[in-house]
Amino acid sequence: MSDTLQMVSRRHRLPDTLVRVVSYSATRLVALFFTAVVGIFVTILVANMGGYVDEIKRAEIRETVTLQVFTDPKIMRLPAEARERRMREMIRIGEERLGLDRPFLSRSLFYLRDALVLRLGFAERMNSDSGSRLVRNIILERLPPTLLLFVSADLLLFFASMFMALSLARQYGSVLDRIVIALAPTSAAPAWFFGIFLILIFAAVLRWLPFGGMVDVPPPDRSVAYAASVLKHMVLPVGAIVFSTIFLAVYSWRTFFLIFSSEDYVEVARAKGLPTRVIERRYILRPTLPTIITGFALGLIGIWTGAVVLETVFNWPGLGQALFRAVGLYDIPVILGATIIYAYLLAITVFILDILYALVDPRVKLSREGRP
């Protein structure tokens, strides 16, 4: 008698299901795209203070031109009328160069189009690591390290907390259970806080692991050695993220599983004589899978927001660190670009969630022609 039960029911009408999933996904994709568009447009409006930034720019141009005129002896020698005309001409050219001659609203639509296709323009003060001034390059070069760090931390956190939560739900009230509950408040402190201590212990005192960065300097040539070096550098930041969240996560999932293990159908499964492992998998995890997946995705988004400080503490060359520097330097295009990337990542996460819901929960109606 194995733990794996075969299915006796038949899933007919597979092409039909496929059509429903695809059409459902397409609808969701369009809806989410519009959400992202609205979000980005609002960001543009806010970043431009609803058009007031134009006035500031106009004033800047007038000031620059006036200064130019008064420091240019050739223009100063012209008669007053011609000088006035010259000045107006120069202001017009300056405004035209920035597109200020057209109304803000129509320009904001062009900004929106540029933002959506990631034509993010040039940074004002920052360079990308490879020396490019394009905001897109700055962001795209920084994105993979951030994804690597946070997705692996979230995966580890997710599976570790699921596993521990199930085992604690099984031994409810035990010493281990009480220890985890007692440790849950440690999650009040953010990951970077634990990061500082981890660096102190494992890098400064014990000297087992590097202080920060993503790879040894100079980077190893062979790809295996390179990967090993990256892994070594990931241990502390991942450890900080996991440590800062795991006790609370285990505590809440354990409570969640306890609640769902008192459902009538779990009782029936026990009466049927199903082994504990089958009960946990088919009767506790399976019906709660949508909630679990949501928890995973929201966890990812949640940790994401902590990236700014954590990456700075660990000197991790990610998007968070870039954003931290951009804020310090008032580099508006980079800040905008990072916001847009976050909006896209959020929309993509929600989209994947929607699809997974439809796949794991038969109760989610895929479309109007779903079975009654």
Partner 1 sequence: MSAGNGFFSVEDLRLHFRTARGPVQAVDGVSFTLDRGRALVVVGESGCGKSSLARAILRLLPRNVHAYSGSVRLNGMDVMRLPEEQFRREIRWTRLALVPQGAMNSLNPVIRVGDQAAEPLLIHGRAGSPAAARQSVQEVFHEVGVPRDFLDRYPFELSGGMRQRVALATALVTKPDLIVLDEPTSALDVLTQAGIMNLLKTIKRETRTNFVLITHDIAAASEIADDAAVMYAGQLVETSRAEQFYREPLHPYSRALMASVPTLRAEKTLEFIPGRPPSLINPPPGCRFADRCPYRFDKCSEEPPMLKVDNRLVKCWLYR
**Is residue 360 close enough to count as binding partner 1 by CB under 8 A?**
yes
**3 state SS of 134:** strand
**Is residue 268 close enough to count as binding partner 1 by CB under 8 A?**
yes
Among 80, 217, 224, 264, binds partner 1 (CB under 8 A): 264
Among 15, 79, 328, 372, binds partner 1 (CB under 8 A): 372
Q: What does the alpha-carbon distance between residue 297 and residue 294 come to, in Å, rounded to a whole number?
A: 5
Among 34, 52, 163, 265, binds partner 1 (CB under 8 A): 265
**Is residue 363 close enough to count as binding partner 1 by CB under 8 A?**
yes
Quick count: other Cβ atoms within 10 Å of Cβ 354? 18
Q: Which amino acid is at 69?
A: V
Using alpha carbons, list the distances in angstroms from residue 60 to 55, 64, 71, 75, 130.
8, 6, 17, 20, 32
Asked if residue 158 lies in contact with residue 302, where contact means CB atoms within 8 angstroms, the answer is no
Nearest to 266 by CA among 286, 252, 290: 286
Nearer to partner 1, 73 or 173 (CB): 173
**Is residue 34 close enough to count as binding partner 1 by CB under 8 A?**
no
Q: Which positions from 157 to 196 touch partner 1 by CB under 8 A, shown as an x/- string?
A: ---------------xx-----------------------
**Is residue 283 close enough to count as binding partner 1 by CB under 8 A?**
yes
Quick count: other Cβ atoms within 10 Å of Cβ 129? 11
The nearest distance, CB 173 to partner 1, in angstroms, is: 8
Across-strand partners of 122?
A: 134
The nearest distance, CB 24 to partner 1, in angstroms, is: 17
Q: What does the alpha-carbon distance between residue 64 and residue 48 come to, in Å, rounded to a whole number?
A: 21
**Is residue 1 close enough to count as binding partner 1 by CB under 8 A?**
yes
Tokens of 230: 């990256």
Binding segment for partner 1 (CB under 8 A), chosen from 42-50, 238-246, 269-277, 318-326, is 269-277
Q: Which amino acid is at 73?
A: P
Across-strand partners of 134?
A: 122
Binding segment for partner 1 (CB under 8 A), chosen from 132-140, 186-194, 238-246, 356-364, is 356-364
Residues that bind partner 1 (CB under 8 A): 1, 5-12, 172-173, 262-265, 267-275, 278, 282-283, 286-287, 289, 360-363, 371-372
